[in-house]
Chain A
Amino acid sequence: MEHLRKRLLKVEERIVYLGQIKEGPDWGNLPALQETLKGVRDSFYDLSQEALAEKIGSLEESVSFLEARCEETLSSMERVRIVRSPLRFSLKDLLENVYEEYTELGGEEDANIDPALVAARASICRRTKNKTIMQQVMVIGHEKGHGEEYRNGGSTKPWGNEKALRYMRVAETEGIPIHFYIFTPGAFPVEEYPGAAQQIARNLYVMAKLRVPMIAVTSEGGSGGAEAVGMGDMRLMFSHGYYSVISPEGAAAIEGKVKEGDKLPKDLVETCADRLAITAADNLRLGTIDRVIPEPILGAKRDDFAFFRRVKAEMIRATDEVVLKTKSLRAFRAYELKLEKDGEAGLDDEPRIDVSWELADDEIERLLQLRSRKYREMARQGYQEKLSGYAAFYRRAGQSLAKLYYTFRYDILKSQHKQVKKVIKDVSGESSVLIKQVSAPFYAAYDFISRKPGERPARSGALWGSGGEEQVEYGEIYTSSLANEDRTVTCPNAERHGCKDLWVPDLYGEFCGVCETCGHHFPLEYQWYMRHLFEPDSIREFNSDLASINPLDFPGIDKKLELARKKTGRPCAMITFDARVMGIDIVVAMLYSDFRNGTVGAAEGEKFVRACEVAKIKRRPLLAYVHTTGGIRIHEGTLGVIQMPKCTMAVREYIGSGGLYLVVYDNNSYAGPVASFLGCSPYQFAIRSSRIGFAGPRVIRETTGEDVPPYYHSARSALKRGHIQGIWDRREFRRNLHKSLMTMGGGNLYYR
C-alpha cells in the first residue's frame, strides 16, 4: 500500500510539474488527468490493491504520454520555467552526486557572505581497469536552493562574485581545474562595493588568463551574472537549460515598452523567449557553447541519479579534453579513439582512462593560447564586413606589414635607443666639466635625430611670456549644432544651486555644455569630442566597414538598424580610430549613443577587439571613450553576451603586452560592457554628471524591491565606491587625458 501511495504522490507531482511548465492546468488533457487523480485519491482506501495499481498504472502511462508530448513541443519559455522550478536539481545536488567528497569554502548555508554562490573543494573519482583515481577540482557555481529564500534564487551579490574570484585564484595556486556551474537568473544589481559590474569585469579579466583548465556548465545562464563564473575552456550546457542576454520578461518589457508595474503580455514574453535564441540547441548552433549534456524528459530533477552519473562522465571527459589538447594532438586523438571504442554506451560512464590534470608550464601557455583563440573566434557570424576579396587581402597584408614595421621600430630600435641613452647617462653621470663639454653636442645631435616629427625645439628666450601652451590650438573651433537655437534651458540642479536658466547658444558654445553655476554637464554629441579631444586631422578611422546585422533575425530589427545607419551614417555603435592628443599617438574605441543607444553587439565587440590588436601592434595607448552605452544589444542574444569575455580577453592581452588602457565614461554607461571590457581597466574615469552602473533604477527596483537614491549611479557615487579613479570636467578632458597618458604611461609613454 505504502508503495502505491508513493507512486500516486509521484504521479501527482508530475501532473503539478506539467501544470507549472505549461503555466496553468488547462493544457491537453491535464484537467481530465487531474480529475482522475482526484478520483483515485478519494477512493484510495475503497479500492483493491490490484485495481488501485491498475488505475495508477494507467494514470502513469497517460502522464508519461503527456510528458513526451510536452517534451516534443517544449517552447523556450517552458524551458525557462523548467529551469526555475524548485524541483530542478541544484548545485548542491551535483556536489553530492557527481563528486565523491566536497568541502564548502567561504561559508555554509545562510552563514555565508553570499549564499547564492557556492565554492567548494571537491574530489571526483574515476575507475580504470585496476585502480580508482581521485582527482581534485574547485567547484564554483550558483546555488538556487530548493526554495530557501536566503539563496536569493542564485542571484549573486557583488561580494559573492568576489568570493568566486578568490577561490579561482586558490585553484590557480594549487593547479587544479575549475568546474563552474551556472544557475543564475542574473547578478544582483547593486553597486555597493565591490559593485556588480566591476566585480564581474574583474572576474572576467582574471579568468582570461587563469592558469588552470576551466569547464563551465550552464543550467540557467542569466547574462552578466553567468559570465562572472563562465569563461570556460569548454562551455557545456544542460539540454533543458537556457542561456540568455536578458530574462524573457525583461526583453518583453523593453520590446513592448511596458510601463513599470504594468502586467507583461504573456504572449510577448513567449515570443521574446523564442527570438532571443536561449535554448541549449540555439546556443550550440550559435557557437556560444561547445556541447550539450542531455537531461531526462522535461529536465533533470534532484533525484535523477542516472543524470548525475552522466554529468560526472561529461565533466571528466570535458576536463580531460581541455587538458589533453594542451599536451599534444596525438594524445588527444588517442583519447578520442578510446572513447569511440567505448561507444555510445560509454557516454554515460566516466572515461576509463587515467588522465592527469596537472599541466606543465608550456602546457599552461598552450591552454591560454587555446582559450584566447576560442574567444577570439566567437560570434564571427554576428557581423558583416563589406570587404571585397582584394580589400581583405590588402588588409591582412597591411596588418602584417605594420606588425613587422612596429616590431622593428620598437623591439629592435628601442633596445638600441635605451642603450644609447644609458651610455649618455653613464658618461654624464660620472661627469666632470670636461666631459660635459664633450657630451653636450652629442646630446644635441641625439635629440635632433630621435625627436618626433612635428615637435618643435624647446622654447628659448621667451622670457616675457608667450600666453601659455593652450593659446593657439584650433584653427576653427567646432561648435555643437545644439547651439543654433535661441532659447534657454533649465539646469537640473537649479533648485539646489540656484542656477540661472542657460541660454542655449552660450551653453553649447562657449560653455561646452557646462552649467556656469553648478558645473552640471549637459550631454553633447560625440562629434564634439572627436573635434575637441584630438589634434585636428589626426583622426584616421579603421574598420569602418564593419557593420551590425541582425544575426537572430529578430523581427523589426533590420528596419531599426537601417534607421540607425541613416541617422548616423555609420554601420555600428563603435567607432575605432587612430588619433593624436597633444603629440601623443593613441588608438581610440568609442561607443556613441546615436546608434541603438551605444549597445554592444557582435560588430561593436569585434571592432573593439581589433582596436586592441591595432594598439598592440602599433604599441600605442588605448582609450575607450564611452559616450553612452546601454549595455549588450539584446537582439543579438548570447552572441551579444559573448562579447563580454571576448572583449575582456582582448583587453587582457593588450595590457599583458604592456599597453596602457584608459576608460572614460560619459553620459550613461550601464550593464554588460561596464561589467567586462570597460570595467576591467585599471584606469577608469568619468566625465562629470555621468552615470555608471550595472542596472538602471527600474531594474534594481524590480529585482531587489528597493528604491535607490537618485544619485546612486552618479559619477561621484562611483568614485566613492572606488569604481572610477577620478571625475573629469569636459573642458579639461584633453588636458587630463594628456596628463594621464604621461603619468600612467611613464617615461616610455605606454610600453613597459
Chain B
Amino acid sequence: MKDKVLIANRGEIALRIMRACQDLGLDYVVVYTAADEHSEHVRLNLDGKGNNRRAWRVASYTDPNDILAVADHTKCTAIHPGYGFFSEDFRFARRVTTRDRPLKFIGPTWEVIKELGDKINTKRVANQLGIPTIPGTDGPIYNEIDAEEIARRLLDDQAERKIHRPSILVKAAAGGGGMGIEEVHEIEQFRRVYRQVQNYAKRQFGDPGVLIEQCLRDYNHLEVQLLCSRHGERVHFGTRNCTIQSTGRQKRLEAAPGFDPTCFPYEFDGPAVLERIVEYSLKLASHVRYDNVGTWEWIVSRDGSPYLLEVNTRIQVENDVSARISYINGQHPNLLREQIRLALGDKLGYNQNDIQFRGTSIELRIVAEDAQRGFAPWIGTISRFSYPQHEWSAVYTHVPTDRPYVIPSDYDPNLALALVWGDSMAEAKERARLFLNEMVIEGSNAAGLPIVTNLQYLADNMDRLLTF
C-alpha cells in the first residue's frame, strides 16, 4: 500500500509533514494560496511538470472544495490537515472519509472529533468516567432558580475548601472565545449577572442557555500528549507545561515535562499529579476509542487538583516538546511521522514500556512581533535568517535561509519554532539563551525600519515565563 498525502496546510507544519512523508517514503502534494507562492513549502515542490507537480494553487486553505478537487486530480489517497484550518473540523473529516472517492483523514475518526470537539459533551463524558472537570454545570441551564442553587453550591464548596475569594463564572453556553463571560463573587449578585448573560446569549446566539462553573485562578496549564493507533493501542509521551497560554497571551514558550521543581516550589506531589492526569487521559481516550494523536488539556490548581479542560483532536504545534524528552531505542520519536503512519493503518510496533523519559525540553516560538507594543505583528522583508545547529536543538521554519523572504500579510507572522533540550531545566534554559543569542534575523519593512522580533523578549523573560 503506497499512499499519497495531500498536505492541507502552510508554513512550518506543511514542511514538517512533507519531511515526515519523505521519511516514510510516501508521495505527497502541497497546496498553497497566491499569497504564499514564495513560501518554502511551495518553492521546494514546484519542479514537477503537469500533473506530477507537487504544489497546487488553491483559492484558500479553508476551502474544502478546492483541496478535495486537487486531491482527486492528483490521485491523493490521504489528507493531512496539520493544525488549525481543518484539523478539528469533523465535517471536513466526515466528508473526506465518506465521499464517493474516500480519502484517509490523518487524524482521529470524525465521530471522535465531533464527540470531543464539543467541550460540554467532553465534560459530560469525563464526569461519567469519574474524571475531574471544573466544578459546574455540564449542560446549559435555562432556569433561574436552578441556576442560583448551582451558583450557591459552587461558592459554598469553595469556601469550605478554604479557597481565597471564591468566585464563579457565568458563561453563554452557545458562546466561545471569551465572549459573554462574567465573574460573580457573591451570591447576592448572581441573579443580576445571570439575567445579563442570559439576555446577551439570547441576543447574540439565539440560545439563552447559560453555563456556570467555578472560577479558577493562579493555576498551571498542562498538556498530555497521547498517540493511539487504529488497532486500539494507546501510549503517552508525557506531559508539558503551557501555562503562559493561560495568561491571555499567545503561546510563546512551552516546556516538558509538566512540572519542574526548579521552576517553582510545589506544595503537592508534582510527579504524582502528572501520573494521575496521564492516567485519566488514557482512560477517556480508551472510552471514546481514540485512534490518532491528541492532546488532553488540563488545569492544575495551586493545591494540586487537576481538572480536564478539553481535548485537542489534532497534532499540536508544540508536539515536539514532548518528543524531545521521550526516547524509543535511544531515539526521539517523530510524532508527525508516527501520526501519519498510524492513521494509514500501521500498528504501533512498541508499547509504553519501550518509551523512556529523560531530561527537559523547551520550545521557543520565534515571531515577528513587537513585545514593546502589545505584541503587534511586524511585516516586511527578511533579508537574512540563520540559526545555529546543535545536537541539542532543532528548528522548524518555513522561512528560507538562502534568499529574502516577504512575510505574507494574510497570516500570522510566525517565523520559526526552536526546540532545545538538556538533562535538566537549568541546562535547557542555558542552551535556550545561547541559541537565541546565536540566531540572526535581519530585514526591514516598507518604511526602511529594521525588523522587530521577539528574540530578545524571549531571552530576557525566560525565567519569568518559565515560572509555573
Contact = CB atoms under 8 A, between A and B. Distances in A.
Contacts of A486: 99-100
B65 A501 contact: yes
A468 interface: yes
Nearest to B59: A500
A732 B206 CA distance: 10
Given A500-B63, A500-B65, A464 B138 contact: yes
Contact of A467 (B64, B98, B140, B153): B140
Contact of B98 (A462, A469, A471, A505): A505
A503 interface: yes
Contact of B139 (A467, A503, A505, A732): A467
A465 B136 CA distance: 9
A466 B139 contact: yes
A463 interface: yes
Nearest to A503: B95
A336 interface: no
Contacts of B187: none
Given A500-B63, A501-B65, A506-B91, A468 B142 contact: yes
B209 interface: yes
B63 A506 contact: no
A732 B207 CA distance: 11
A565 B6 CA distance: 49
A356 interface: no
A488 B124 CA distance: 35
A108 interface: no
Contacts of A469: 142
B149 interface: yes
B141 A465 contact: yes
Interface in B424-461: none
Interface string B319-344: 00000000000000000000000000
A510 interface: yes
Contacts of B137: 464-465
Nearest to B91: A506
Given A463-B150, A465-B140, A468-B139, A505 B63 contact: no
Contacts of B140: 465, 467-468
B146 interface: yes
Contacts of B100: 486
Nearest to B127: A464
Contacts of B149: 463
A740 to B, nearest CB: 16
A223 to B, nearest CB: 41
* Chain B residues touching A, range: 20 to 34
Contact of B95 (A462, A467, A500, A506): A506
Nearest to B206: A732
A469 B209 CA distance: 11
Given A486-B99, A506-B95, A465 B138 contact: yes
Given A467-B140, A486-B100, A505 B95 contact: yes
A486 B98 CA distance: 9
A510 B124 CA distance: 23
Nearest to B124: A467
Contacts of B65: 488, 500-501, 503
A559 B360 CA distance: 82
Interface in B197-224: 206, 209
Contacts of B150: 463-465
Contacts of B64: 500, 503
Nearest to B99: A486
A473 to B, nearest CB: 15
Interface in B52-103: 63-65, 91, 94-95, 98-100
Interface string A447-484: 00000000000000011111111010000000000000
B153 A463 contact: yes
A462 B91 CA distance: 33
Contacts of B142: 468-469
A500 B67 CA distance: 13
Interface in B149-193: 149-150, 153
Given A464-B138, A501-B65, A503-B64, A510 B91 contact: yes
Given A500-B65, A503-B64, A468 B209 contact: yes
Contacts of A462: 146
A510 B94 CA distance: 12
Instruction: Kindly name the residue among A465, A466, A503, A506 whose own CB sees the greatest number of chain B CB atoms within 10 A.
Output: A465
Instruction: Kindly name the residue among B63, B99, B140, B150 whose own CB sees the greatest number of chain A CB atoms within 10 A.
Output: B140
A498 to B, nearest CB: 10
A503 B100 CA distance: 12
Contacts of A468: 139-140, 142, 209
A506 B63 CA distance: 15
Contacts of B63: 500
B315 to A, nearest CB: 24
Nearest to A487: B100
A486 B101 CA distance: 9
A510 B110 CA distance: 14
Instruction: Kindly name the residue among A464, A467, A468 whose own CB sees the greatest number of chain B CB atoms within 10 A.
Output: A464
Nearest to B121: A467
Contacts of A510: 91
Contacts of B95: 503, 505-506
Nearest to A506: B91
Interface in A486-501: 486, 488, 500-501
Contacts of A467: 124, 138-140
Contact of A465 (B94, B139, B206): B139
A294 to B, nearest CB: 64
A521 to B, nearest CB: 16
A288 to B, nearest CB: 48
Interface string B94-119: 11001110000000000000000000
Contacts of A500: 63-65
Interface string A659-700: 000000000000000000000000000000000000000000
A488 B72 CA distance: 15
Contacts of B138: 464-465, 467
A500 B95 CA distance: 15
A273 to B, nearest CB: 52
A513 to B, nearest CB: 15
A482 to B, nearest CB: 16
Nearest to A510: B91
Instruction: Kindly name the residue among A467, A469, A505, A510 whose own CB sees the greatest number of chain B CB atoms within 10 A.
Output: A467
Nearest to A464: B137
A468 B100 CA distance: 36
24 contacts: A463-B146, A463-B150, A464-B137, A464-B138, A464-B150, A465-B138, A465-B139, A466-B139, A467-B124, A467-B138, A467-B139, A468-B139, A468-B209, A469-B142, A486-B99, A488-B65, A500-B64, A500-B65, A501-B65, A503-B65, A505-B98, A506-B91, A510-B91, A732-B206
Given A463-B153, A467-B124, A469-B142, 8 more contacts: A463-B146, A464-B137, A464-B150, A468-B139, A471-B139, A486-B100, A503-B64, A505-B95
Interface of B: 63-65, 91, 94-95, 98-100, 124, 137-142, 146, 149-150, 153, 206, 209
The 10 A-B pairs at the shortest CB distance, nearest first, are namely A465-B139, A467-B139, A465-B137, A486-B100, A486-B99, A501-B65, A468-B140, A463-B149, A503-B95, A465-B138
